[in-house]
Amino acid sequence: MTVNSQFDMTGRQAIVTGGCGLLGVTFAEALLEAGATVHLIDIDEQALTTHSAQLAQTFGDRIQTHICDITDEDTVKRCIAVIAQNGAIDALINSAAVDPKFEPGENGEYRDTGRFSTYGVENWRRSLEVNLTGTFLMTRETSRIMEDQDDGKGRGSIVCISSTYGLTGPDQRIYENTDSPERFFKPVDYSTTKAGVLGFVRAVAAYYRETGIRVNALTPGGAYNGHDSAFTEAYSSRTILGRMAAPDEYKGSIVFLCSDAASYMTGANLIVDGGWTAL
Ligand SMILES: NC(=O)c1ccc[n+]([C@@H]2O[C@H](COP(=O)([O-])OP(=O)(O)OC[C@H]3O[C@@H](n4cnc5c(N)ncnc54)[C@H](O)[C@@H]3O)[C@@H](O)[C@H]2O)c1
């Protein structure tokens, strides 16, 4: 195969959960640009309408949307059954997550400061539910379809999105220097669930040994999203490249992992973090 044909996803069908997120939408865009039909799944109905309208202008009916809470087993089952009616499912990207952001609201206050000693168990439980149980449900329902593909030999690519904070503890110093009246801490549930995603990837990849179902993780570093200059500088200084990522710098990685270009890759973690975890 030529390198172009290895990356070509024409005629393939892909699912992106959390498809309305900052990175989720660029993952969808990348797969559309590579030729795939993309099913955007999100819990946020309004954002789904907005993003699908924008993407449809370029990609027409190759973009489909599904309102789905990935933590609800029956809803996930129905959603995957509807998608499977359109044909084979070639790729699943588990991108939906609870990711407490360092982005204060209008009053400069955070919804939750992330302080460990007062951290709400409901926040902890919600993160585990979305980031791990939702990933489990989506993967289980999709893999059942993938198992039957290629005459029962199994075929498909599953990509779970982790984070640098799944590999290292959050560097709480980068959240210190801020104009906000409150001190923000990146909460512990984020690192815990993102580390869990990496274990999940290895376990499911190992389960599908000697099949055509590949399971990998993508570990992105922080993407710039209008953060204040103090945070941007503090974050950037922790990377080798000296900057945050632009969201579209993950497009090539997601197409690589979903396509035949990564046909000999499973149980792996692709780290694209500007060198954050190398230091
Ligand atoms: N943005 C970054 O800088 C960054 C860095 C490292 C890792 N990541 C990881 O990359 C992935 C994508 O990040 P992002 O920036 O797009 O996140 P985001 O917070 O912008 O978007 C998350 C999306 O998930 C959806 N969602 C939340 N709960 C859901 C549920 N129960 N069912 C369905 N959808 C639900 C939200 O509505 C939202 O659209 C996440 O897993 C995140 O942890 C992001």
pLDDT of 113 reads: 78
How distant is the alpha carbon of residue 189 from its chain centre?
16
Q: What does the mean pLDDT of the chain come to?
A: 94
For the segment 212-231, the average pLDDT, to the nearest whole number, is 95
Q: Which of ligand 1's atoms lies nearest the C-alpha of 130?
A: 31
Q: Which of ligand 1's atoms lies nearest the C-alpha of 190?
A: 43
Q: What is the pLDDT of residues 163-204, one digit of tens each?
A: 999 999 999 999 886 666 677 889 999 999 999 999 999 999
CB 200 within 8 A of CB 135: yes
pLDDT of 132 reads: 98
For the segment 222-235, the average pLDDT, to the nearest whole number, is 93
- What DSSP string runs through 27-49? HHHHHHHTT-EEEEEES-HHHHH
pLDDT of 261 reads: 98
Q: Which of ligand 1's atoms lies nearest the C-alpha of 245?
A: 3
Q: Which of ligand 1's atoms lies nearest the C-alpha of 25?
A: 16
For the segment 1-26, the average pLDDT, to the nearest whole number, is 98
- Domain 3-272 coded CATH 3.40.50.720: yes
Which residues approach ligand 1 with their CB closer than 6 A?
Answer: 17-18, 20-24, 42-44, 47, 68-71, 95-97, 99, 130, 134, 161, 163, 220, 222-223
pLDDT of 181 reads: 65
Which tokens in the block code for residue 236?
Answer: 């950037």
Name residue 266's amino acid. Answer: T
Ramachandran assignment for 127, one of left (phi > 0), alpha (psi -120 to 50 degrees), beta (any other) = alpha
pLDDT of 175 reads: 86
pLDDT of 109 reads: 61
The answer on pLDDT for 208 being more than 60 is: yes
Q: Which of ligand 1's atoms lies nearest the C-alpha of 164?
A: 6
Q: What is the pLDDT of residues 58-113, one digit of tens each?
A: 999 999 999 999 999 999 999 999 999 999 999 999 999 998 776 656 666 656 67
Ramachandran assignment for 274, one of left (phi > 0), alpha (psi -120 to 50 degrees), beta (any other) = left
For the segment 242-266, the average pLDDT, to the nearest whole number, is 98
Write the DSSP symbol of residue 177: S
**Can you tell me the distance from the alpha carbon of 4 to that of 30, in angstroms, rounded to the nearest whole number?**
15
Residue with CA at minimum distance from ligand 1 atom 42: 97
pLDDT of 237 reads: 97
Rounded to the nearest angstrom, the distance between the alpha carbon of 161 and the centre of ligand 1 is 9
How distant is the alpha carbon of residue 192 from its chain centre?
16
From 95, 126, 248, 276, the mutation candidate for ligand 1 (largest count of ligand atoms within 8 A of CB) is 95
Rounded to the nearest angstrom, the distance between the alpha carbon of 85 and the centre of ligand 1 is 27
Q: What percent of the chain has pLDDT over 90?
A: 86
Q: Which residues of 49-68 are buried (b: 16+ CB within 10 A; e: fewer)?
A: eebbeebeeebeebbbbbeb
pLDDT of 47 reads: 98
Q: Where are the beta strands (DSSP E) in the chain?
A: 13-17, 37-42, 63-67, 91-94, 155-161, 212-220, 269-272
**Can you tell me the distance from the alpha carbon of 29 to that of 258, in angstroms, rounded to the nearest whole number?**
13
Residue with CA at minimum distance from ligand 1 atom 5: 222
**Can you tell me the distance from the alpha carbon of 245 to that of 16, in angstroms, rounded to the nearest whole number?**
20
Write the DSSP symbol of residue 249: G
| Confidence grade of residue 118 (pLDDT, cut at 50, 70, 90) | confident
Residue with CA at minimum distance from ligand 1 atom 11: 95
